[in-house]
Amino acid sequence: MSSKTVHVRKRGYDVLRDPLINKSTAFTTEERTALGLTGPLPPVSNTVDQ
């Protein structure tokens, strides 16, 4: 499986409101920190398939 990095300017709730970049609880810990999502999301990470 190939992994791509996508850079976005949105942070926090703006990420969660954008259906093109919102992964719900599938954000990794690193992504949550970088995107300012540590508070708005529950502390559990799931895969996109879950």
Q: Which of 7, 26, 29 is nearest to 16 (CA)?
A: 26
Reported confidence tier of residue 1, pLDDT bands at 50, 70, 90? low
8 A C-beta contact, residue 45 and residue 28: yes
- The CA angle 1-50-44, to the nearest 5 degrees, is 105
pLDDT tens sequence across 12-49: 999 999 999 999 888 888 998 999 988 888 887 777 77
Per-residue pLDDT, 2? 59
Per-residue pLDDT, 20? 92
Joined together, the tokens standing for residue 25 give 């609880």
Instruction: Give CA–CA dist 49/26, Å, rounded.
Output: 9
8 A C-beta contact, residue 25 and residue 42: yes
